Amino acid sequence: MATRPGADADRAPGRLAALLASPGARLVGKRLLMAVPILLGVSVLTFWVLNLIPGNAAQQLLGPEATPEQVRTLEQQLGLDQPGYVRYLGWLGSAVTGDLGTSLVSGQPVTSQIGERLAVSGELVGLAFVVSLGLAIPVALLAAYKPGRMFDRVSMLVSITGLSVANYVLALLLVLLFAVELALFPAIGFVPLSESVAGNLHSMALPVAAIAFPLFCFYTRFLRGDLVDQLQGEDYVTTARAKGIGPGQVLLRHAFRNSSFGLITVVGLNLGTLIGGTVIVEQIFALPGIGQLMLQAINTRDFVVVQACVLVFAIVAVLANLLADLLYAVLDPRIRYGSR
């Protein structure tokens, strides 16, 4: 049957309206609206805390030998003599349009500085997530398959040990062992992907390991414990076994599916801790990421850069939790119609 020319174009607005009215779109819209006051609160709190820190960029730039008159003159040039609420409202008005201000120290746009470093931090966080989850899920499944056996005990021992070591301490130990003693990986430095894929992975191996190993230990212990609880105390597991379903299928198709909800929640909530660890690890390994940029800005009292970095971290955390909500809806479509 022939369709009238332009019929698809006529139906396009209806399809768009149906898409926007779908449960998934409503879920995304609700979460984005909730993110607005969260980001606003983060920006206000960050600005207030930064203004409590003694000193400013003018004093840092001129040094301890500068006279009070020189400091006041530079403060006027940088706009630091204005009241705090005036400076915040001016920054907020520009941030809404995508302009995060200009660095007080370098004079460069903050947006371009963050854009240059975002790829490094993004790669570090992404690889750490992939490695930690890629190892934690199979290890937890194998440990929960036969709890109390040797593999389960060893995996739990490794997990407890890894959770007892801070990532910055682990980073220093990795440098001492693999960079200094064995000389297998570089202690500092970064090779961009555009130059060499192998060189990039080689330079990122130790930083990724320093972040991924504690995450792997945490995810393994959490998922293994939840799987064991599902297998030993849930009626649906007993019913599945009564139907003759094998233990492997019960573990993968039933227990793991339900435990994945808890794992997604933990991963989403754990992102804040991951970002905090990234800041320190980037400094230790001299990676040109956002974390290193923020620490340098704190040392120079470049509060415009610090404010922008904190806002970017907050946006990433909000988006991670939004992604977790969407994954809930994918795993269980009934969630889309709930009141969450």
Give phi and psi for 172, each to the nearest 5: -65, -40
Whole-number pLDDT of residue 339: 45
Cβ within 8 Å of residue 43, ≥6 positions away: 88, 92, 95, 307, 310, 311, 314
Q: Which tokens is 251 given?
A: 């573990």
Residue segments in the chain with a per-residue pLDDT below the cut of 50: 1, 337-340
Q: Kindly report, residue by residue over 249-290, the tens digit of the pLDDT.
A: 888 887 888 888 888 888 877 776 777 778 889 999 999 999
Q: Which tokens is 241 given?
A: 């076994």
Whole-number pLDDT of residue 206: 94
DSSP category for residue 165: S
Whole-number pLDDT of residue 177: 92
pTM: 0.81
DSSP letters, 30-88, are HHHHHHHHHHHHHHHHHHHHHHHSS--HHHHHH-TT--HHHHHHHHHHHTTTS-HHHHH
Whole-number pLDDT of residue 18: 55
Q: How far is CA 73 from each of CA 58, 68, 77, 112, 247, rounded to the nearest angstrom?
A: 9, 9, 6, 27, 75
Whole-number pLDDT of residue 313: 87
Whole-number pLDDT of residue 102: 85
Residue pointed to by tokens 């750490």 = 128
Q: Determine contact, residues 307/50, Cβ cutoff 8 Å.
A: yes
The Cα–Cα gap between 152 and 159 comes to 10
DSSP category for residue 304: H
What domains are defined for the chain? 111-337 (1.10.3720.10)
